[in-house]
Amino acid sequence: MERERELDPDICGCILEFLLFNSADDLLVKKLIKAFPPFNLNPCSEKAILLRSIQTQIQAGHITHKILDSLEMIHRIDSDQRLPIPDTMKEAYCAVALDCTAKFFTVDPNPNPDAVNRIWRGRVESLERSRASDLVSDLLRNRRRQVEAAFEDEEARRCLIAMNTRKEAIHRLRLYIGEAFASMGSPVLERACLRFTSSQDGQLQAH
């Protein structure tokens, strides 16, 4: 019996990259990842998977600290590729951090400081000390001061609660995701198809 041939890892990577950019079916992408033989994702595919995971969360209306984790991982990928960190990413990160904080005040006007500090004194301070410090913007620092004021001042607390932080976070994330996908260019398969189509057109015109 003829031995089954495994798919070439490079081909698997190209197929996955194409689907990450073009398929709206997250379940299909997950099934293919499980079905393919082990292969190393290129940075572009890693980034696309993270962007897709953020898309899935905001489509469900979920804004959580997991999105902050994904943005930080994308930042590491971009930094390793020596890519600039766009303002849209910094603004999205700030908006998500603020929404994750505001919901504590919405549930309880006097929330547990430890829960809030995990974001601002834990996560953000760690970012400032790390190589991801360029993800920390002046706006993020201003939001941190606003959050700290909300613990001490009732008017500052009311202002924070009144803000539609969820809508702003979703808006900023969508702007960033659109820009990020656009900056990554076309998948390898798509470029190959375009080259093939162009060459076929050239041959037809020659005849």
Predicted confidence at residue 118, as pLDDT, reads 85
pLDDT given for residue 173 in this prediction? 97
pLDDT computed for residue 36 by the predictor: 73
pLDDT at 78: 94
The pLDDT, as a whole number, for residue 134 is: 86
Q: Are 175 and 45 in contact (CB under 8 A)?
A: no
Name which of 161, 133, 167 is nearest 147 in CA terms.
Answer: 161
Rounded Cα–Cα distance for residues 194 and 35 (Å) = 28
Q: How do the pLDDT tens digits run along the chain, 207 residues long?
A: 344 456 667 777 777 777 777 766 777 777 777 777 676 778 888 898 899 899 989 988 899 999 999 999 999 999 999 999 999 999 999 999 999 999 888 887 777 788 778 888 888 888 888 877 889 999 999 999 999 898 888 899 899 889 999 999 999 999 999 999 888 876 655 666 656 565 555 555 555
Angstrom distances, CA of residue 197 to CA of 15, 80, 111: 18, 34, 60
Q: Which two tokens stand for residue 81?
A: 């590729």
pLDDT value for 103: 87
Question: Two tokens at 174?
Answer: 């969508």
Contact 160, 146 (CB under 8 A): yes
Helices (H), the chain: 9-22, 26-35, 43-59, 65-80, 87-107, 113-117, 125-129, 138-152, 154-162, 165-183, 188-206
pTM of the prediction?
0.80
Residue 19 and residue 28 in contact, taking contact as beta carbons nearer than 8 Å:
yes
- Residue 201's pLDDT is 52
